[in-house]
Structure formats: C-alpha cells, structure tokens
Amino acid sequence: MQNGTYSWGHDRRYNDFPTYFRALFSERVQKVSIDAGFTCPNRDGTKGTGGCAYCNNKTFKPTYCNLENSVTSQVEKGIAFFARKYKSMRFLAYFQAYTNTYAPIEDLKRLYEEALEHPKVVGLVISTRPDCIYPELLDYLAELSKKVYVMVELGVESHLDRTLDSINRGHSFAEAAWAIEETAKRGINNCAHMILGLPGETREELLDQAKTISKLPVKNLKLHQLQIHKNTLLEKQFQQHPENFDLYTADEYIDLVIDYLELLNPEIIVERFISQAPPEMLIAPKWGLKNFEFVAKVEKRLKERDTWQGKRFI
Ligand code: SF4
C-alpha cells in the first residue's frame, strides 16, 4: 500500500467488484436475470441425473425451444423494473438459470444476440459449468468480447477432486482450471464461483484454495458460504449425519473470509462473499444477514485486524 491506496487503485481494503465496475462503465450498470430454458448435463443424464448435492433446481420448465417468456420479453420486464428509478441505467443480460452454454452453438448465438439487441443492454454474464465450454464457443465469445462486455461465470466450487466427487459435480478441478485458462487467454472476463464449507473440507484446505485460485488467471471471484437448501441431497445428508457438517457462524465465516483474502492475489476482483437463499428454502445456517450488511462487517473486521487482500499473497 502506498499513500493510502492499494495496488487496485483505491483505499477499500479489498479489490471489490462494485468499485471496479463503476470505473469500467461511466453509467450505473445492473444485471437483469434471464432464464433462457437451458437444462443441465448433470440432470439430464449426460453427466448424471441427480444433480449437484446442494442444487434444488428440480421443477419442470419450458426449454429454450418453446420458452413461455422469450429472452426479449424477460429483458424488457427486467429493464422496466429498474428504469423507473434510474433513467440512464444500462444493463447486462445475466443468463443465470442452470447451464447457460448447454445447447448447440447456433441456438446459443441466437439467444445471446437476442438479449444484446435491446439498446440498453451493454453485455452478457453467462453462468455455466467448466465442462460445458469448448473452443468453438470460446472463440465466438472472444469475438463478442471485442464489442460488448462478456463475463463467463464458472461453477468451480472446490479445488479438491474428492469434494467435487462427493457433491456429485461431475467434473474435476483440472477441467475448471482449463476453463479459467482458456477464457483468460482469449480476453474473456471470467468469474470463479466457490463454495466455502463443503462437507469434509477443513479450514486449512480452504485457505489452500485461496493460494491455488491465486495461481490461475481468475479475473473475478464469488465466494459463497455453504447453505443447505430444502429438497436437496445435502438436506438428507444433513438430517442423517449433522456431525459431518461444519457450518460456520457468521462471525467464524467473516474471519475465514479475511484469512482467505489475505492469501488471495490482489489482482483478483472480489464480487461477493455470501449468497442469500430465500428464507423459505433455507435449512441452515440462518444468519439473517443481507449482502451489504455482511460486506460492512468484513470491512470493519479488516480494519480492526489492520489487514487487506493479498497481505500474505506470495
Ligand atoms: S448446481 Fe448447476 S450444474 Fe449442478 S445440478 Fe444444479 S444446475 Fe446442474
């Protein structure tokens, strides 16, 4: 740190996504969530049928071939919601539900480009599994990245294959590392999504994760605490063997996040620390904290501990 400013150019104690994003776009930018009717190879039998142990996306829904609400109408509805408040706001179409690259490439192009047709949409955020991207798609997204903002959000979840096996992810960490390398190589913004607190992972292993992630060209990072949702395999396992779960209290998790940040490469932009499941879906842990409240607590603790992202990064 020099003259009150960290290597990321401001005096917040971590390289936070909102500040980065405000600098990138001159106007306010908001994500608009799109369900384009994709399914998931870990549910339709290609990789598996049960899905990931923590996932409860089980309800039937129309496919991308016969969407009830077209991408255009979802974009328009989402924009209308925010545009009343902020007239000059711009939007990113967030392809969020299930695996948003799991379709033939011509269908993907049609759906992504339909979202980009709206004059207020300035880019795409595409959430997917690391094993559902491939060179032809990456080359297309690299071309698109030259014209609009594109972020590929990758469900990495853990750096340990034994954990990925036990939660039935159906892919390895090497596949996630490949996806991170290949997006970065082509100039596509990537985001690694990690879950902290999966069964069987110790605190030391989670801190090793920060070191492992730091060695990869990860542009953005989303950390989430493990949450047990209703109607998931994890819920059953939790009811049968609660002793196998080491769920953090909010205070313990704050200190874990700070220890993790200290080891993290300062170039990685941190987008989130927690997720918030709707209360009616959540079994545990019930912290009752909103994202902005958690961020304020992390910032306060960073100051108390007089530390910052990358302080112990080697
Ligand atoms: S979490 Fe994602 S990859 Fe896993 S089963 Fe659910 S939709 Fe599929």
Nearest CA to ligand 1 atom 5: 51
Dist. CA 42–CA 48, nearest whole Å? 4
2 secondary structure, DSSP code: B
Secondary structure element (H or E) that encloses residue 259, with its range? helix 250-263
Question: How many angstroms does the Cα of residue 37 sit away from the middle of ligand 1?
Answer: 14
Q: Is the CB of 13 under 6 A from ligand 1?
A: no
Strand partners, 94: 33, 125
| Residue-range domains of the chain with CATH | 17-304 (3.80.30.30)
Q: Is the CB of 74 under 6 A from ligand 1?
A: no
Strand partners, 128: 154
Q: Is the CB of 159 under 6 A from ligand 1?
A: no
* Confidence (pLDDT) at 84: 80
Mean pLDDT by 10 residues, the chain (314 residues): 79 96 90 92 90 76 69 93 85 94 97 97 98 98 98 98 97 98 98 97 98 98 96 95 93 98 98 92 94 97 98 96
pTM summary value: 0.95
Which of 53, 90, 218 lies closest to 152, judged by CA? Answer: 218
Q: Which of 39, 43, 228, 232 to mutate to test the pocket of ligand 1 (most atoms within 8 A of CB)?
A: 43
* Confidence (pLDDT) at 64: 62
Strand partners, 181: none
Which of 193, 171, 191 lies closest to 183, judged by CA? Answer: 191
For residue 181, the SS3 value is helix
On the CB side of 111, CA atoms within 13 Å amount to 29
| CA triple 95-195-181, angle to 5 deg | 65
Dist. CA 223–CA 191, nearest whole Å? 10
Dist. CA 126–CA 91, nearest whole Å? 14
* Confidence (pLDDT) at 60: 41
